[in-house]
Amino acid sequence: MSQERTAPGATGAFVEDPEAPEYSAYGGDWSEIADEAARLGQQRIVVNMGPQHPSTHGVLRVMLEIEGETVTETRAGIGYLHTGIEKNMEYRTWTQGVTFCTRMDYVASMSQEAVYCLGIEKLLGITDEVPERANVLRVLMLELTRIGSHLVAIGTGGNEMGATTVMTTAFIGREDTFRVIEMITGLRTNNAYIRPGGVSQDTPEGAVEYIRQMIPKVRQKLDELVDLQLQNPIFKLRLQGVANLDLAGCMALGITGPILRSAGLPYDVRKAEPYCGYETYDFQVPTSTESDAYSRVVLRLEECYESLKIVEQCADRLDQTVGQPVMVADKKIAWPAQLSLGADGQGNSLEHIRHIMGESMESLIHHFKLVTEGFKVPAGQVYQAIEGPKGLLGVHLVSDGGTKPWRAHFRDPGFNNLQALSILTEGGQVADVVVAIATIDMVLGGVDR
Amino acid sequence: MSDSQDLTGTGAAKGGPQMGDRERITLINVREGMFGAKGDTSGYDLLVTPVQMPGASERPYGEWFDGAVNVLEELLGERADAAIEYVVVDRGELTLHIAREHLVEVCEHLRDDQDLRFEMCLGVSGVHYPADAGRELHAVYPMQSITHNRRLRIEVAVDEADPHVPSITSVYPMNNWHERETWDFFGIVFDGHPSLARIEMPDDWVGHPQRKDYPLGGIPVEYKGAEIPSPDNRRQYR
Amino acid sequence: MGIEESAPPFMLGTVEDFVGYMRAGSMWPATFGLACCAIEMMSTGTPRFDIARIGSEVFRGSPRQADMMIVAGRVSNKMAPIVRQVYDQMAEPKWVLSMGVCASSGGMFNNYAIVQGVDHVVPVDIYLPGCPPRPEMLLYALLELQRQVRETPMGRNRRQMAAAAEAAALAATPTSDMKGLLR
């Protein structure tokens, strides 16, 4: 990095500067807002909510101006979890980038992995060469992740409204999806399972039976959530007619996902622009025209049922494709070792280690080069979108022809949808702010990246 | 490996293509050496490779691209030549390089015309190309048409010394936070934005951290006598 | 056979033991989730792992009612002052559990945005590695912390222990001088 260039507004003052900024919890616009409120008299009350608040889904900060119990102005403050993931990815190989982007929206880890890998495959021009079994495994993982994400949305939403049972029930269901995910990927979250060109490893023995055992358990928890919530008069009073956003509002704010579908537009990237073979699966896109918080909970539950249908179909296809490859055939891209389940947990395949260490010097060189240097991706840029659990998840990838991304930018649906917080809450009750935040279902890791 | 790299072909001379081509091609990077923390570990310092984006495409563009560009040119009328700098079709995606003066008008047409109807702008992604003299900062807008199920990309390039792009929040209100983010990370000033404040970094942060001339900012990790430099200072392939 | 059947008429013990036993029994964590680890922390609170078994199921929204702060996730430069403020708002005695590698050392995010270890901001009692640590690991860390709390000396013993710890730290080889396998 050259420091001589003095671009306006780029890197400037650092520690040697005697006037270097100091950070305090009281700085920024908050004190200005508070001073202004004091100046204007007692009628105007500005309440700061977060970034450490049990009901803001993480480190979201909301600045509310209230009059009695009515919210007159809402402003969201984000950035408290900004991690610089996109910049970090510029210093890692394309394959290593998977481990970074999976930590963005950590409730739906594998959505980012999938969109990122699909983007790389488009850059490489190998989209059609990804084997069928890899695509089936990707779809399986995406749908399990979707169920998990929706269950967290419903569960924490219920918890924030004061119903702990909703959360415990939802999390039991989510743990069942995690059991399958863990069996196949080796990790509960942040899996780094979907890799450029395929997936990191094939299913272990008995995985399909395990998936089939899991499905009724999750369905039972979904049924319980339906019984617990949807006819509950308190729940209905709390959510029906709250946090309304009609279709025009959704379009103006670029809202996607369950919120858009609750306003009546059946836009789902899985149907509109199928990827990973989604066009071959049988599933519905539930919609509603109520456009309130209640309808979004209903939609999320219905989507979970649809996802279970897809998971069932995936299980059948896994049976049909046993033994087929899960990674592209091109050895210049495919990770040389297929990981396998050893006695001590996950690890490299012993067969591969024996081969590179004992038999073939060339294989060892190839392994070393591919793992340390990575593969080169031709220069260019692509945009890839998938339907994440929270909406349209996009990635803009730029390659400079090297082994590392020149720029990777993620359009997290939560980041975009959170812009709607003001319009969802202004004019409503203070207590409904929590409902609005829960209904947007953003994850701050994805919002801030 | 890629066709685009062959465009420069001639190799060793620094600077890459002629100025005439420059306006129709994005120079991503001028890569020096092959491996090392700084320069080339081999000591052979003459490996200089300019890397470029795929250049301007000629008609026919294929798929629905011709139709869309025709409609846009028709709507722009005599301003079409000035507004659309060049068109790139690469990997099945259409990129329109737009002059910043005409960006808002182009966006209005893209949104309002029934044959275009790109209802959604999927944000703006800043990209910094320090080697692309005079056009260092790019603002990339992916546009999504739900009606026609299409996507295209608008790209606006500006000089680092004059990083001003008109805000399109008047046309696409959804871009409000996205533009703030790009200002925060790249220092592109979106003129006409209702409140262009930092969004991710603290309000009093100095600099725009995702530009290429901003260091990654990691610290070396010390471990029992060994010191591992931060990722941007390690030896690496390039 | 509980204490009911064979309860002696009186028992002797130290205040130290008694206080430690009481403190360790129900440590309430502050609801303080930051990133990925927070989701695993939430999972720990739900039926499969059931943090209630070790008396820490009451996650308190207000730091003033909490005994323990689980720093679950990466701490950004923007968040660091808030972390400190939450810590300052907690009443003594208080403990900090640094959950996951990001909170412990910055982890994989060695960059401009992330504080390289929450111990730059607040004193940490126990570090829990993992990215993210499994809920079982969090439970183990909590049990370890409880053990530490139970065995915490008080009064003169505490001063002696602090002096001994400081002397040992001064005598130890600094990390920068350790050679490890690099001879």
Q: What domains are defined for chain B?
A: 7-14+55-234 (3.30.460.80)
Residue A20 lies in a domain: no
Phi, psi of B70, deg, nearest 5:
-60, -45
Closest Cα in chain A, distance from residue B63 (Å): 15
Which of C106, A88, A86, A401 minimizes the C-alpha distance to B232? A88
What is the reported pLDDT for B63? 83
Q: Which residues of B touch A23 (CB under 8 A)?
A: 202, 204
Portion 280-319 of A in contact with C at CB < 8 A = none
Q: Are residues A244 and A355 in the same domain?
A: no
Whether residue A286 has a cis bond before it, omega within 30° of 0: no
Residue A34 placed within a domain: no
Question: With b meaning 16 or more CB within 10 Å and e meaning fewer, what string describes B132-141?
Answer: beebbbbbbb
Question: DSSP state, C51?
Answer: G
Residue A14 maps to a domain: no
Which of A344, A374, A404 is the last residue in one of the domains? A374
Q: Is the pLDDT of residue C61 over 60?
A: yes
* pLDDT category of residue B19 using cuts at 50, 70 and 90: very low
Query: Does B231 reach chain C within 8 Å, measured CB to CB?
Result: yes
Task: Tell whether A293 and A421 lie within a shared domain.
Answer: yes
Q: Is residue A98 part of a domain?
A: yes
Q: State pTM to two decimals.
A: 0.88
User: Both A340 and A233 in a single domain?
Assistant: no
Residue from the list B5, B198, B215 with its beta carbon closest to the beta carbon of A379: B5
Average pLDDT rounded to a whole number, residues B19-25: 54
Q: Rounded mean pLDDT of A386-398?
A: 93
Residues A213 and A348 in one domain: no
Specify whether A416 is located in the same domain as A300. yes
Report the range of poorest mean pLDDT among A11-15, C38-42, C63-67, C172-176: A11-15
Q: How much of chain C, in percent, has pLDDT values that exceed 70?
A: 96
Question: Within 10 Å of residue B3's Cβ, how many Cβ atoms?
Answer: 12
Residue that terminates a domain, selected from A351, A374, A397? A374
Cβ-contact B135, B26 below 8 angstroms? yes
Pairing of strands C29-30, B236-237: unpaired
Residue in A306, A310, A298 with CA at minimum distance from that of residue A258: A298
| Residue B93 pLDDT > 50 | yes
Chain B within 8 Å of C11 (Cβ-Cβ)? Answer: no
Does any domain span residue A32? Answer: no
What is the reported pLDDT for B23? 59
pLDDT bin (cut points 50, 70, 90) of residue A4 is very low
* Residue A411 included in any domain: yes
Residues A393 and A413 in one domain: yes
A residues 343..382 contacting B (CB < 8 A): 372-374, 376, 378-382
CB atoms C179 and B225 under 8 Å: yes
Q: Are residues A266 and A343 in the same domain?
A: no
The encoded tokens of residue A53 equal 């608040």
When divided into structural domains, chain A yields a total of: 2
Under 8 Å CB pairs connecting chains A and C tally to: 101
Which of these, B87, B162, B89, B147, lies nearest to B116 by C-alpha position? Answer: B147
Cα–Cα distance between A199 and A201 in angstroms, integer? 6
Predicted local distance difference test score (pLDDT) of residue A180: 92
Nearest to A401 among B51, B151, B231 (CB): B51
Q: How confident is the model at residue A1 (pLDDT cuts 50, 70, 90)?
A: very low
pLDDT, tens digit, 9 for 90 and up, residues A289-340: 888 899 999 999 999 999 999 999 999 999 999 888 888 888 888 877 666 6
pLDDT digits (tens, 9 = 90+) for A38-86: 776 666 688 888 787 777 777 888 988 888 888 888 999 898 989 999 9
Contacts of B7 in chain A (CB under 8 A): none
The reply to whether residue A88 touches residue C33, judged by beta carbons under 8 angstroms, is: no
For residues A246 and A314, membership in a common domain is answered with yes
So what's the pLDDT on residue A27?
54
Is B224 in Cβ contact with C175 (below 8 Å)? yes
CA distance A140 to A151: 17
Q: Measured between beta carbons, which residues in chain B are less than 8 angstroms from residue A403? A: 237
Measured between beta carbons, the chain C residues lying within 8 angstroms of B201 are 78, 113
pLDDT of res. A2? 39
Query: What residues are paired with B84 via a beta bridge?
Result: B98
Same structural domain for residues A253 and A362? no
Percent of chain A with pLDDT strictly greater than 70: 89
User: Residue A358: which pLDDT band, with cuts at 50, 70 and 90?
Assistant: confident
Q: Which residues from B are below 8 Å from C112, CB to CB?
A: 209, 214-218
Q: What is the mean pLDDT of residues A375-391?
A: 92
As beta bridge partners, residue A380 has A399
Q: What percent of chain B has pLDDT over 70?
A: 89
Mutation target vs B (from C110, C175, C177; most B CBs, 10 A cutoff): C110
pLDDT at residue A286 in the model? 92
Residue B120 above 80 pLDDT? Answer: yes
Could you say which of A319, A348, A374 is where a domain stops? A374
Distance from CA of A338 to the nearest CA of B (A): 25
Any domain includes A366: yes
Give the model confidence (pLDDT) of B146-202 as tens digits.
Answer: 999 999 999 999 998 999 999 999 999 999 999 999 999 999 999 999 888 889 888
Contact status, residue A221 vs residue A172, Cβ threshold 8 Å: yes
Q: Which residues, 6 or more positions from B141, have their beta carbon under 8 angstroms from its beta carbon?
A: B107, B121, B122, B123, B124, B125, B153, B154, B155, B156, B168, B175
**Is the pLDDT score of A241 beyond 80?**
yes
Q: Given a cut of 70, is residue B33 above it in pLDDT?
A: yes
Judge if A252 and A145 occupy the same domain: yes
Tens digits of per-residue pLDDT, A217-232? 999 999 999 999 888 8
Q: What sign does the CA torsion over B191, B193, B195, B200 have?
A: negative
Look at residue A147 and tell me whether its pLDDT is greater than 90.
yes
Average pLDDT value for residue range A194-210: 89
- Tell me the shortest Cα–Cα distance from B79 to chain A, in angstroms: 27
List, in order, residues 6 or more apart from C35 with CB less than 8 Å away.
A58, A81, A83, A103, A106, A444, A445, C72, C73, C74, C100, C102
pLDDT of residue A355: 85
Tell me, what CATH number does A207's domain have?
A: 1.10.645.10
User: Range with the lowest mean pLDDT among A24-28, A139-143, A147-151, A375-379?
Assistant: A24-28
Determine, yes or no, domain membership for A306: yes
User: A263 and A141: one domain?
Assistant: yes
Measured between beta carbons, which residues in chain A are less than 8 angstroms from residue B153? 381, 383
Percent of chain B's residues with pLDDT above 90: 36
* Domain assignment of residue A346, given as a range: 334-374
Q: What is the pLDDT of residues A402-436, one digit of tens each?
A: 889 999 999 999 999 999 999 999 888 888 898 99
pLDDT for position A344: 58
Q: How many CB atoms lie within 10 A of CB A68?
A: 10
Do A241 and A367 lie in one domain? The reply is: no
